[in-house]
Amino acid sequence: ETSQSAASSLELKQSKSGESRSQKPESLETAFELISRKGLKKGIDYLIAKNLLTRSPKHVSSFLRVHQSSIDPVILGEYLGEGGIDGIDKDYWNLIRFYYVRAVSFVGMNIEKALRHFLTNCGFRLPGEAQRIDRVISTFSQCYWEDNAGDIANCPFQDQDTCFLVAFAIIMLNTDLHKSQPSKSKTLKRMTRSEFIANLRHVCAADKFQSYIYDIYDAIEITPILVTP
């Protein structure tokens, strides 16, 4: 009887385990449907309720990285730009953002190449709201600085804040150089190399690293960063 009881218990555990494995793909499918219809918050809350994910920022960011190909880049960008309400909530979103971005290596890249890689090859599209853009680029700047501080050839900046300001200037340049022409009768005035240098003069030693800044301008002029879907 003891042997039969043990066998029955084992069969029950195996049955439950099999049910759990079969339910996981169904739960993921439901989660992705929720994400596409109601946003990432709803989908992730569902996975947490199903015990397929914890609230840990590291676990959430890992889920986002692993499944980024199944998530609309616009939805992912909006989620990564979340800010939170109070101090603890803000820290939580900062950590999700940091762990997501920190999985990317920017070692040995100048800031234009790093930013281009970040905005076009990391599974998301930059959100449209200014505060969300600010948060995403701030986290990028932190990770870029960690990877390249001291590498004067690629990162001739004095601190993380300077990286942020230069990255933001690149985004503004990208928008300015590649904005749509309103009509055939009007010619848009676009930012020149000299103006780009002048805009950065108060931010970094732009005159000292003029060739570095010119290389950024030329790269953006020739090939825009596709930051919109």
Q: In whole numbers, what is the pLDDT of the chain averaged over residues?
A: 88
Answer with the residue of higher pLDDT: 184 or 72: 72
Q: What is the pLDDT of residues 1-21, one digit of tens each?
A: 545 544 444 444 444 444 445
C-beta neighbour count of 70 within 10 angstroms? 14
- What pLDDT does residue 16 have? 42
- What pLDDT does residue 188 have? 75
What percentage of the chain carries pLDDT values higher than 70?
Answer: 85
pTM recorded for the entire structure: 0.85
Q: What is the pLDDT of residues 171-225, one digit of tens each?
A: 999 999 998 766 565 677 889 999 999 889 888 776 678 889 999 999 999 999 9
Q: Which contiguous run of DSSP H or E holds residue 175? A: helix 160-178
- What pLDDT does residue 17 have? 45
d(CA 28, CA 66): 13
CB-count exposure of residue 144 (10 Å: 0-12, 13-18, 19+): buried
Q: Alpha-carbon torsion 164, 165, 166, 168, what sign? A: positive
Answer with the residue of higher pLDDT: 55 or 228: 55
Q: What is the pLDDT of residues 78-116, one digit of tens each?
A: 999 999 898 899 999 999 999 999 999 999 999 999 999
Query: Do 70 and 40 contact (CB within 8 A), yes or no?
Result: no
Q: Which contiguous run of DSSP H or E holds residue 133? A: helix 130-148
d(CA 186, CA 182): 7
Q: Mean pLDDT over residues 30-51, rounded?
A: 94
- What pLDDT does residue 182 have? 64
